[in-house]
Amino acid sequence: MLKLSSGIERDQKGHFLLDEDGIRRISGILNSKAQSLQQTTTLVYFVRREDDRFYETTELDDLLADPNTYKHRIQHLVIELRKTDPAHTIAPWDRKWVASISFTFEKEGRVKFTIASDDKNWSLLLADELEPQISRTRVNQKVSTFLLLSFYAALACFFYAGFPKIGALIGFSPEVVKNIIFFALVGIAIATLGSIGERNEIIASIFGPESCFCWGEQSRVLERRVEFHKNITWAIIVGFFISLASTVYTSATLPALPSEAVIKK
């Protein structure tokens, strides 16, 4: 007998923060909805870690007991409502599950969920309940891009307008000052490009955002990361004003030096 399925399939890139409360909410919805299915299912958690090891468990407490330590962090988690009715044979081309939600810790993070059942109403009702819970895991915890770009601009002004006089006054040769300015401006340009749009891995690791499976050791790492972002935000604000003040002060008070013209050529 031909069975037709319906449901939803959504694949989203973006960072997420999945904590104990979030996974319990998702698991609760799946377990609750499974009671109204005509077939027997089991909720299974598939975990792949950073050290390339993986395991499956049907116990949520076993998953939450994972130490989730550095170099052994969870990278990929799939929550599946699997078909386990012994009276029904699963065809090779058929899905082994009726609902699957995966969270992948990648450069940009990825969340994918698929629901497929021959009961159309069941699929749509499950999707309506799951979508808000999955949306709650989305996170954009990062230092403001506008703040970062403003800081980069202030630094660039300082190195271009203020540093030639300071370098010459200290006694650096024109060639040395010119090289310092060149490498500083190149570094600022690279940092600027890496901060616009999707941040590169280095910028994201310092200024955010990053995905997180927030239990075990990673819950404490997240707390330290949030505190670090607060501190670095204030440091950038202070650095912005210091860079501007230094540029204005050196331009207004220090005399033009003969070597300065050579440096800027």
The pLDDT tens digits for 149-195 are 888 887 888 787 777 777 766 777 888 888 888 888 888 888 888 87
Same domain, 122 and 174: no
Question: Are the beta carbons of 75 and 49 closer than 8 angstroms?
Answer: yes
Same domain, 152 and 116: no
Same domain, 64 and 173: no
Query: What is the average pLDDT score of the chain?
Result: 81
Same domain, 165 and 95: no
Same domain, 126 and 156: no
Between 42 and 152, the higher pLDDT residue? 42
Helices 163-170 and 217-253 cross at an angle (nearest 10°) of 80
The residue segments making up the domain with residue 105 are 6-135
Between 162 and 255, the higher pLDDT residue? 162
For the chain, how long is the longest CA-to-CA vector?
A: 91
Indicate the number of domains in the chain: 2
Contacts of 197 (CB under 8 A, 6+ apart): none
Same domain, 130 and 175: no
**Which percentage of the chain shows pLDDT scores above 70?**
84
Same domain, 84 and 163: no
Same domain, 91 and 168: no
Q: What is the pLDDT of residue 210?
A: 80
Query: CA 78 to CA 102: how far, in whole Å?
Result: 4
- Range list of β-strands (E), 33-176: 41-49, 54-57, 74-83, 97-104, 110-117
Instruction: Show which of 77, 105, 135 is a domain's final residue.
Output: 135
Instruction: Show which of 135, 169, 199 is a domain's final residue.
Output: 135
Amino acid (1-letter code) at residue 244: L
Question: Are the beta carbons of 126 and 33 closer than 8 angstroms?
Answer: yes
Same domain, 150 and 241: yes
Whether 221 is in a domain gets the answer yes
Whether 140 is in a domain gets the answer no
Pairing assessment for the beta strands 212-214 and 110-117 based on DSSP bridges? unpaired
Whether 1 is in a domain gets the answer no
Same domain, 160 and 115: no
Whether 257 is in a domain gets the answer yes
Same domain, 18 and 73: yes
Whether 256 is in a domain gets the answer yes
Whether 200 is in a domain gets the answer yes
pTM summary value: 0.74
Question: Are the beta carbons of 17 and 50 closer than 8 angstroms?
Answer: no
Whether 32 is in a domain gets the answer yes
Q: What mean pLDDT is predicted for residues 22-36?
A: 93
Q: Is pLDDT of 259 > 60? A: no
Same domain, 159 and 130: no
